[in-house]
Chains A and B, each alone.
Chain A
Amino acid sequence: MAWTVRFLEKIALADIGFEAEGESVEEVFRGATQAVLETMATPSTVSGGWERAIERSDLDPSALLFDWLSEVVYWKDAAGVVYREAPLTLTREGDVWLLHARLIGAPVDYLTQELHADVKGVTKHLYELKQTGGRWKVRVVLDV
């Protein structure tokens, strides 16, 4: 695992903030995705059975990550599911960043799953994807 996630305690009191860090943009995507999944439910308590493939592209990796995380939140309500995992790859063709991802999860069941917060949206408040000292980092605030 080449990424880390740290949940932030001092910002946006009613919401949930985190920082994901990794050696590449792809690793930051993985870390931030895992943070969103864990905010909603403990992934190890969720079985499979529901799956959706998602492909997206953008010139701006920051916008692509924002849209992807928003998609993760969207399917939680649209399909009534929480997630076990979301494997993804991020590649670059010329100036365009391409995301290939799968959302894997199961319908919400509070008797068998460890559920947490119902994320309303990914906000742009303090949102920033940047490279510092050779590592990539993103800060995200989720409205819950």
Chain B
Amino acid sequence: MNLNTDMTVNRITDEIWEIPISEKPGMLVPARIYATKGILQAMDSGVFDQVTNVACLPGISRYALCMPDGHWGYGFPIGGVAAFDVQDGVISPGGVGYDINCGMRLIRTDLTLADVQPHLEQLMTELFRKVPAGVGASGFVRLSGEEFGRVMTHGAKWCVERGYGWHRDLVRMEEGGCIEGTDPSSVTDHAIKRGINQLGTLGSGNHYLEVQVVSNERIFDPVTAAALGITGNEQIVVMVHCGSRGFGHQVASDYLKRFEKSMRRYGITVQDQQLACAPFRSPEGQEYFSAMNCAANTAFANRQVITHQIRESFATVFGQSAESLGMELVYDVAHNIAKVERYPEGDLVVHRKGATRAFGPGSPELPEMFRQTGQPVICGGSMESGSYLLVGTDQAVRDTFGSTMHGAGRTMSRAQAKKTIRGAQLQEQMKQRGILVKAVSMSGLAEEAGLAYKNISEVVESVDRAGITKKVAELRPIGNIKG
């Protein structure tokens, strides 16, 4: 089998591949990659190198994992999952990423394509106006330092208290949109100044707001879909992908720098400086965990303020309240985070970087409404292809620390994509295919062309066949806002 690595990669099943600990000095556990043979063969060399570097980190449990959307990141691969013992393991900002609690949110509506198509241009213009995107964008919410502290501790709950959402939204978010155990004193003034004006903004890169359609023939599990509010019949839904913006980015930068110094004191050596880490129980480890949770809560709040703006935009364009348009939240899920979760080995710090929690119906952590379906998992494809709604499984909890994929995953660098297609050309091509794109940056648009990504359907098939998530519905884009 031709792979972009010289390492031995053994087949466990058609969707699971294992690199034994003999392949790199210092590996403490094997590395496992979830992928079809085709996806594995296309994976870049960085994935194999990075997932085996992760397997060398102190206190790692069972396996270092990479999901089928995995690709070369920094430190951990994107798509990486690793769990560390809370007593003698580590926590690593590189295993979470700079964009702490980057995540996905899906909002349903009662509208159909026939309702929206005549107003699509107006709707996308209104959304583009109300949801700032792109480099350094600031939002409409103005906060004092003290109030921003409440955002850090209360997350999406703060938004609902301020009228930016409905109380019932909260139960449809991972952790109820508010992670406990935060301490704003663990966050630097630098981080606060960087992020205080950015609540309700998308950012750029692969972040987006997308209006999508659900057709009956692309619903794979009608019972689960209906339970989650997805009814098909050309139903309109809205997907949001963004995170903690400059605030989270600065928290990551601050602690990576701090951990680089403290690692010497703890006698930890790593294969890549971006794997800088600290013992989870150390003062530095606990402070990062707290600061990371502050950033995670601001990300929940960011997506909640954006949801408020989306609801306002729809209400303006369609002349009805968001409630009468049925704009309920389907779910909000993080895909860049570290959390303490209980597994047979004990309490573990599960790092997911470009990977989604995927708890099954049997998980006691889930609210009652998801005990039959399993936790919703929202996976974004490229803006040209489509996205998926899936649900977690009990097998994921057993096999992958309750984790699955988060998106399509790149196959081409940004520089290559820009050489292949121009932004304006791509925008016109998409318009011809019925997808209206509003973008702040044309070069940024070109970087996100569908040709730069894996085929999301094949990626989704991998995790479905592996049993770690189950397909519910495919979502087809008709309008996209990019930073």
A interface, CB within 8 angstroms of B: 7-17, 40-41, 70, 73-74, 76-78, 80-82, 108, 110, 114-118, 120-127, 141, 143-144
Contact = CB atoms under 8 A, between A and B. Distances in A.
A80 to B, nearest CB: 5
A115 B441 contact: yes
B190 A125 contact: no
Nearest to B206: A14
Contacts of A16: 414-415
15 contacts: A14-B206, A77-B246, A108-B136, A114-B443, A116-B204, A117-B135, A118-B204, A118-B205, A121-B98, A123-B98, A124-B274, A125-B274, A143-B99, A144-B204, A144-B414
A82 B138 CA distance: 13
Interface string B407-434: 0001111111001000000000000000
B413 A77 contact: no
Interface in B333-390: none
Most chain B CB neighbours (cut-off 10 Å) among A8, A70, A82, A110: A110
B136 A121 contact: no
B14 to A, nearest CB: 25
A78 B247 CA distance: 9
B198 interface: yes
Contacts of A117: 135, 204-205, 414, 441, 443-444, 447
Contacts of A7: 415
A74 B190 contact: yes
- Dominant secondary structure at the A interface: mixed
Interface stretch (B168-176, B225-233, B249-257, B323-331): B249-257
A127 B136 contact: no
Contacts of A10: 413
Interface of B: 44, 46, 71-75, 78, 97-99, 134-138, 190, 193-195, 197-198, 203-206, 245-246, 249-250, 252-253, 256, 260, 272-274, 276, 410-416, 419, 440-441, 443-444, 447, 483
- Closest 8 A-B residue pairs measured CB to CB? A125-B74, A77-B246, A124-B273, A118-B204, A120-B249, A120-B98, A13-B410, A108-B136
Q: Name the residue in A8, A15, A82 with the highest tally of chain B Cβ atoms < 10 Å from its Cβ.
A: A15
B135 A82 contact: yes
B74 A13 contact: no
Contact of B138 (A11, A80, A141): A80
A17 to B, nearest CB: 8
Contacts of A70: 253
A59 to B, nearest CB: 14
B109 to A, nearest CB: 28
Contact of A12 (B73, B276, B483): B73
Given A7-B415, A12-B413, A123 B274 contact: yes
B98 A143 contact: yes
Contacts of B483: 118
Contact of B415 (A8, A82, A120): A8
Given A14-B410, A74-B194, 12 more contacts: A8-B413, A11-B46, A13-B412, A70-B253, A76-B136, A77-B245, A108-B136, A117-B135, A121-B98, A121-B253, A124-B273, A144-B205
A9 B413 contact: yes
B204 A14 contact: no
Nearest to B243: A120
B439 to A, nearest CB: 9
A41 B135 contact: yes
Given A12-B413, A74-B190, A118-B136, A123 B74 contact: yes
Nearest to B447: A117
Contact of B135 (A9, A76, A127): A76
B134 A13 contact: no
Contacts of B74: 12, 15, 123-126, 141, 143
Contacts of B198: 77
A9 B414 CA distance: 7
Given A108-B137, A143-B74, A74 B441 contact: no
Contacts of A115: 134-135, 204, 440-441, 444
B416 to A, nearest CB: 5
